[in-house]
Amino acid sequence: MRIFKNTLCTLLFAIVAVSFVQAQTTTASRPVLDVPYVPTRQVVVDAMLELAKVSKNDVLYDLGCGDGRIVITAAKKHGATGTGVDIDPERIKEANENARKANVTGKVNFVEGNLFDMDFSKASVVTLYLLPDINLKLRPQLLEQLKPGTRIVSHAFEMGDWKPEQTVNVDGATIYLWTVPQKK
C-alpha cells in the first residue's frame, strides 16, 4: 500500500512539474518584439497611402503589420493587393479577422514571422512603423531586395543618412517617402 502511495505521489509531482515547465515555456515562447505594438491612426494610414500614390496595380508590404490596418486600407480604398508580416501571432490573428470583416481576404494575406527573415522583393510599396535603429538595420535588406522604383513610406522614423524625398506632417505625425534607386 505504501509503495502504491509513494508511486502515486511521485506521479502527481511529475504531472505538476511538467505542467509548470509547460506554463513557463508558453510564457517564455512569447515572441521577442523589436518594436512594441502601437497602431498607426487611421488618418495617418490614409496619408501614408496617399503619399505613396497606392493604386490597384500595387503590391504593398507592411513590415510589422500589427492588426493589418495599412494593408487592409490599401486593399479596401485603393484596390491594391498586400501582405502584412508580424512576429506576434496575436497580431496575425487580429489582422486576419479584420480582413474578413472588411471583405478583402482575396486581396491580402498575413504572415507570421520575423521581418528580418522575410523576402519582400514582390513589393512595389513598403510601409514601416518601426524604430530608428530598426529602420537602419533594415535598410540594406530593403535596398538589396526591392526593385528600383519601389516606394517606401515610414511613419515617424527616418532612415539615417538616406534622406527622404518627401516629408509630410499629418495631424501631429510625420511621414517620410523614399524611392528605391537604380542598382549601381
Ligand X SMILES: C[S@@+](CC[C@H](N)C(=O)[O-])C[C@H]1O[C@@H](n2cnc3c(N)ncnc32)[C@H](O)[C@@H]1O
Binding site for ligand X (CB under 6 A): 33-35, 37-40, 62, 64-66, 69-70, 85-88, 91, 114-116, 129, 155
Looking at the Cβ atoms of 120 and 129, the one nearer to ligand X is 129
Least distance (Å) from ligand X to the CB of residue 181? 24
Least distance (Å) from ligand X to the CB of residue 104? 16
Looking at the Cβ atoms of 94 and 124, the one nearer to ligand X is 94
Looking at the Cβ atoms of 8 and 33, the one nearer to ligand X is 33
Looking at the Cβ atoms of 66 and 82, the one nearer to ligand X is 66
- Give dist(CA 104, CA 97) in Å, integer: 10
Least distance (Å) from ligand X to the CB of residue 73? 10
Least distance (Å) from ligand X to the CB of residue 170? 13
Helical segments of the chain, H only: 2-28, 42-51, 69-78, 89-101, 132-145
Shortest Cβ contact with ligand X: which residue? 64
Looking at the Cβ atoms of 122 and 181, the one nearer to ligand X is 122
Least distance (Å) from ligand X to the CB of residue 114? 4
Q: Which DSSP string do the residues of 19-47 spell out, in sequence order?
A: HHHHHHHHHHTSPPPSS---PPPHHHHHH
Whole-Å CA distances, 21 to 8, 12, 14, 32, 94 = 20, 14, 10, 19, 28
What are 135's three cell numbers? 529602420
Three-state SS at 51: helix
